[in-house]
Chain A
Amino acid sequence: MSSSSQVTESWISSFCGLLGHEYFAEVSEDFIEDDFNLTGLQSQVPMYKEALEMILDVEPEEDEDEEDEEEEDDDDDELLGDERPTGYRRASDRRHLRMASDLSVIESSAELLYGLIHQRYITSRPGIQQMAEKYELQHFGTCPRVHCTSCKVLPVGLNDSPGHETVKLFCPSCLDVYTPPNSRFQTVDGAFFGTTFPSLFFMTFTDVDIGGSRSTSTGAADALLAIQQANAEAKTRNNTTPPNVTSVNGVAPHNLGPGLGPGNIYEPRIYGFRVSERARSGPRMKWLRMRPADVTELDETRRYWDEHGEDGERPDDEDMNMVDVAEGKGVSVERRKKMAGRRRRPNGLDVGGGSPMDTNEATGAVG
């Protein structure tokens, strides 16, 4: 191979530069070269060795080591030909030249292999860090849901094995998944991102404020401000989480579905009157966007023992506590301390029952 060939883009960066591949991180070669990271992929990808070489832009073997090469070329897919395929980078400069159809098999194998490695890479330390940078730059877009106020989303797969579903977007504000707005992503396999990535991301970066742009847009008219103010008031009125609680079930209260709960649930109206739940076309899906006013209610372990526990069986608070509170004011989140033996609220205070979400009241309802 002559040294005059111009410096070409690596296979990886050219793959990530393709239209529709904007969600992909560039997997580092170090990661791919560590065999441990590729465990089990050989059986999932046809022409694995060739695909891996293509991804890494390496030539098959050290030059002129014919025998060695032959030994590995024991599968029938390796067709010899003297026709030099064009349009390929270094992989095309191999001595054992392949027919174009063969190359397209390798090319699609390389894409599959890269995708499967990518799924693993983005849950590794360097990979998740790289995705964090893309997240900050809003490379994955924002949630289409109005009440999520342009919260940044992350790619997700609904399946970890390829060939099932295309890539979706996970919104941490409403904890739901959406189809990417642009159809060019409808050819990208969701397995290349996997089911684990977005949740692991938010468990890793607990300091990320996922709320979205809660600030009122400039130039909004008074009426809209009034709506937003009313919503904001509804939120404050219904946020009864004790202010010293720093974590419930491992998540800071302000990061637990911030797009959900009072003020973030669509209330259907006709000429200003609420549509009653009892109407045939009345609301049935509010539960999907609900969140308790006091999120410590989601501490099921404590609730369970509060409701069923005899004093003798009740485990130590240290063992079962899923709620962390800050010890006094100005205590950093890092130094959060387990709350020991503190009683929160009496049992039976069920937010759902008499909450402002209840649409049973007949007043002003159209039915």
Chain B
Amino acid sequence: MDDFNSESDSDYTSYWRDWFISSRGNEYFCEIDEEYLTDRFNLTGLNTEIQYYQHALDLVTDVFDFDCDDDMREAIEKSARHLYGLVHARYIVTTRGLAKMLEKFKKSDFGKCPRVICEAQPLLPMGQSDVPNTSPVKLYCARCEDLYNPKSSRHAVIDGAYFGTSFHNILFQVYPAMLPPKSQRRYEPRVFGFKVHAAAALGRWQADEREKMKDRLKDAKIETGFEEEDADEEEEELDDEDDGMEIGDGFANRAPAQA
């Protein structure tokens, strides 16, 4: 694995972490550096958060040599996974962690946006809370700026706090070139070729909101970040030709001309 090969600062194989990140269902995690894990400063506060903290840490760092029964071993194993997750949330907002997650993002390790208009934009994992055991991991699309549920049930049970609420936003602040262009295109519900009036009216209202935002940004001399705006407008004009009739409430309704 790439992450493993890049682990040049470690002079021996990280058995536990290697096993952990290559386990089925753990594809969203990157490998935390040995160096990071052994710096106590990075683990501040976690000792009270995690049962059998020291044993768990020993296990994660491959220095575990505690003779115990299977039940105990299992409990420590569980704690080790929880510890790894909580440290992971801190690690992925460090320079090195961000770089590792960026590589995974580029390979679409976190999946692609299911929204058709996002054209398979790679996703990033995120949590809706930084508090453990609050809500499972979600996926963030930087193109539509929305959250999606992981497809696989294996991923849907991972604690969102292992990724946290900030990581995905920090990544795009640090790597703004990774920001995808935003699209103004949208799905327009139609019935027998006619736009559905209720949806079309909402779409026009939303487009007004978008234009207001773009005006605010232009006033502040900030890039809007939308792709091919000219092309979009052309498309809209072409669209307008069949635009007059809309269907809704059992009859076609003529929308008033926009003044």
Interface residues of A (CB under 8 A from B): 144-147, 158, 168, 170, 175-179, 181, 195-196, 198-200, 203, 220-221, 223-224, 227, 247-251, 256-257, 260, 266, 268-272, 275, 277-281, 283-292, 297-301, 304-305, 307-308, 322, 352-353, 357, 360, 366
Contact = CB atoms under 8 A, between A and B. Distances in A.
Contacts of B145: 266, 268, 283-286
Contacts of A168: 116
A211 to B, nearest CB: 16
B112 to A, nearest CB: 8
Contact of A284 (B191, B206, B224, B247): B224
Given A221-B131, A307-B259, A250 B198 contact: yes
B116 A300 contact: no
A175 B190 contact: no
Contacts of B169: 268-270, 275, 281
A49 B19 CA distance: 59
Given A158-B116, A227-B128, A279 B213 contact: no
A289 B209 CA distance: 11
Contacts of A178: 114-116
B249 A247 contact: yes
Nearest to A303: B256
B6 interface: no
Contacts of A176: 115-117, 186-187
Closest A-B pairs by Cβ, 5 of them: A250-B249, A304-B256, A249-B198, A287-B210, A146-B147
A184 to B, nearest CB: 13
Contacts of B115: 145, 176-179
Contacts of A200: 191-192
B180 to A, nearest CB: 11
Contacts of A196: 190-193
Given A223-B134, A250-B197, A352-B212, A181 B176 contact: no
Classify chain B's interface size: 35 or more
22 contacts: A145-B148, A146-B146, A178-B116, A179-B116, A181-B151, A221-B131, A224-B134, A249-B248, A251-B198, A260-B202, A278-B217, A280-B223, A284-B226, A288-B186, A298-B198, A298-B202, A300-B256, A304-B256, A305-B256, A322-B248, A322-B253, A352-B209
B7 to A, nearest CB: 28
Nearest to A271: B166
Interface string B175-211: 0100100100011011111001111011011111110
A146 B196 contact: no
Interface in B82-98: none
B209 A285 contact: no
A115 B248 CA distance: 27
Nearest to B165: A269
Nearest to A260: B202
Given A247-B249, A301-B256, A360 B216 contact: yes
Interface string B142-161: 01111111010000000000
Nearest to B181: A284
Contacts of A290: 205-206, 209
B53 interface: no
Contacts of A285: 143-146, 182
B1 interface: no
B189 A277 contact: no
B201 A298 contact: yes
B187 A266 contact: no
A287 B206 CA distance: 5
Contacts of B255: 300-301
A206 to B, nearest CB: 10
A298 B209 CA distance: 13
Nearest to A268: B169
B259 to A, nearest CB: 6
A170 B189 contact: yes
Contacts of B186: 176, 288
A250 B252 CA distance: 11
B148 A146 contact: yes
Given A178-B116, A281-B172, A322-B248, 6 more contacts: A176-B186, A199-B199, A266-B146, A287-B210, A322-B197, A352-B212
